[in-house]
Amino acid sequence: MEPLSWTGSLSGLNYFFLIILGLLALMIVVSILASLVPSSDARAIGADGTLASDQGAAGFINMIIGYLFYAVVALVLVYLVLGVVMGTGAGIMGGISRQFLPVWAALIITYAVSITYKRKLGLYGKLFDSTVGMIGFGIVMFWVFTGIMGGVFDMLITHDSLSQVSGMKNKLPGTPLARADAEDYQWFLLGGDNLARDVFSRLIKGSWVVVQIAPMATLFAFMVGITLGLPAGYYGGRLDTVLSFLANLILAFPVILLFYLLVTPEIVLTGIPNYMATFLFVFPLIFVAILLNSRYYTQPSFRTPLLIVVLGVLGWLYLSLISSDGSIVQTDTYRIPGLPAMLDGFDIDGGILVVFVSVVFVNSPTVFRIVRGLALDIKTRDYVAAAQTRGEGPWYIMLWEILPNARGPLIVDFCLRIGYTTILLGTLGFFGLGLESESPDWGSTINAGRRLLALYPHAAIAPALALLSLVLGLNLLADGLREESLRD
């Protein structure tokens, strides 16, 4: 079988595409240069006294840029749609596009539903008013759908991400599978890596690792940061001094040194990550308990059952999360018993738990500082004084007066921080820490591919670009959210 080219039978479009892309770049440069020169647009006074002016040269250039941009978008869509229709007939891009068909469908449905109801969806709906936010959201959701569909349901992937196929070592993108059976997918779409595994399938499997860990770790870091940052900012004084000192202590550590100290197998043996998990993961429980209690403590008949149910569920999740094989900490010399194995809902793989804990640990001091700063600012507002006069308790003021009013910056930071967590996860993988070496996550794959970078760059470039696009998407999403939340 022939090796695939990048665009197959659509390669006639390539020149067209490149020309338009080049023109677009050129016109953007021209418009920037033109904006430096003051332009005088022609003005004409009509007979009725109205003033009419044309757009001038700048307006003309902007119009061209607009059309060229739409042309680029349209051509990309043509590549993708024809790719879905023609499959590998349209080369590697076509094959990839067809593999991603379920993701495209999910994206289209998400956008159609969201845009239809965008006026009823609050801040999320407003996101669809901003182009930047929509692009960012699209990229992020692309990887979220890819992660879930590929990671959980084994859709999208063309080959097993761990199996090695002899004869496919370091093969270039589009190489046909050696000695393929009829039911196999016939190509390695993005080539083979140095252990003869399919780069494309590993890319998709790797997205699940990120989609799984990054948002959850960020959420936990926010819980820790909020639960400690609000009282530090609101009460101030000695509590603030101690907590800020501890936060600065962690922040002064070089992140990589911290990772090296926490994630090595010897440290894992001592059970320190388990202790840290036990400590850090209890914060969501505390947070929810205080949140509900401070709101409903005046109605004990409602509060008590609510707290019992919510804390029961969360407590079970917490215990399942931190205990494995019936123990919380298990070392050679002693063990601390945890939830018995029969009640244990799910087991987190040891490596992932350690990575998770260290990422939460690194992120929470920064969140703490942000929340503390916001609390310091907001506690001087009139509505806080009003709540104090009403006789509300301090936790009610913190969680139901200050926190909702700090949500704008926090949501924006949440998006940015998921991106940052993704980068951290990649860093861990890049240094071969935490996850197993055969794990398909992007950092480990880049690490494995970088040794042969000058000869076979595809194995490292594919995950690098994937990581870049996801973090870029999160940054654009945060930018869009910031723009829209400032508009209120």
Partner 1 sequence: MGIFILRRLGVMVLTALCLTFIVFWLTNLYPNLEKLAKTQGNFRMSDEAVSSYLGDRGYLQPMPVKFGQWLGVMPGWVTEKEEGKTFGRCFDAGTPEKERPTRCGVLQGDWGFSTVFKDEVGTTVATRLALTGKLMLCVLLLMVPSALIVGVLAGMREGSKLDRSLSTFSIATTATPEYVSGVIFIAVLASSKFGLSPILAEWGWIDSKTLFLGSATSAMADANFWNFFLPVLTISLYGMGYIARMTRASMAEVMTAQYIRTARLKGVKFSDIVLKHALRNALIAPFTVIMLQIPWLLNGVVIVETLFNYKGFGWLLVQAASNNDIELLLAVSVVSVVVVLVTQLISDIGYVYLNPRIRIS
Instruction: Count the Cβ atoms, other than its own, within 10 Å of residue 478.
Output: 22
Beta bridge partners of 335: 330
How far apart are CB 117 and partner 1 at their closest, in Å? 29
In angstroms, what is the minimal distance from the CB of 252 to partner 1?
A: 5
Cβ distance to partner 1 smaller for residue 29 or 85: 29
CB of residue 301 vs partner 1: minimum separation in angstroms? 48
Give which of 141, 165, 316 is closest to 215, Cα–Cα: 141
Rounded Cα distance, 430 and 437, in Å:
10
CB of 135 to partner 1, least distance (A): 11
Ramachandran angles phi, psi of 374, nearest 5°:
-65, -40
8 A C-beta contact, residue 35 and residue 22: no
The residue among 10 and 464 lying less far from partner 1, judged by its C-beta, is 464
Report, in Å, the least distance between residue 483 CB and partner 1: 12
Q: Which uninterrupted H or E stretch holds 419?
A: helix 407-430
Structural tokens at position 165:
């196929």
Sequence-distant (≥ 6) Cβ neighbours of residue 115 within 8 angstroms: 128
Q: How many CB atoms lie within 10 A of CB 238?
A: 8
| CA-based nearest residue to 460, from 207, 189, 190, 147 | 190
- Least distance between partner 1 and beta carbon 127 (Å): 17
Min separation Cβ 353 and partner 1, Å: 18
Closest CA to 59 of 36, 23, 37, 34: 34
Q: Taking the complex as a whole, how short is the minimal distance between the CB of residue 57 and partner 1, in angstroms?
A: 13
Residues 6+ apart with CB under 8 A from 426: 441, 442, 443, 446, 467
Please tell me the distance from the alpha carbon of residue 446 to that of residue 463, in angstroms, as a whole number.
6
Ramachandran region, residue 271 (left: φ > 0; alpha: ψ -120 to 50; beta: rest): left
Q: What distance lies between CA 286 and its chain's CA centroid? A: 26
**Residues forming the site for partner 1 (CB under 8 A):** 28, 31-32, 35-36, 62, 245, 248-249, 251-257, 260-262, 264, 266-267, 269-270, 272, 419, 423, 426-427, 430-431, 443, 446, 449-450, 453-455, 457, 460-461, 464-465, 467-468, 471-472, 474-476, 479
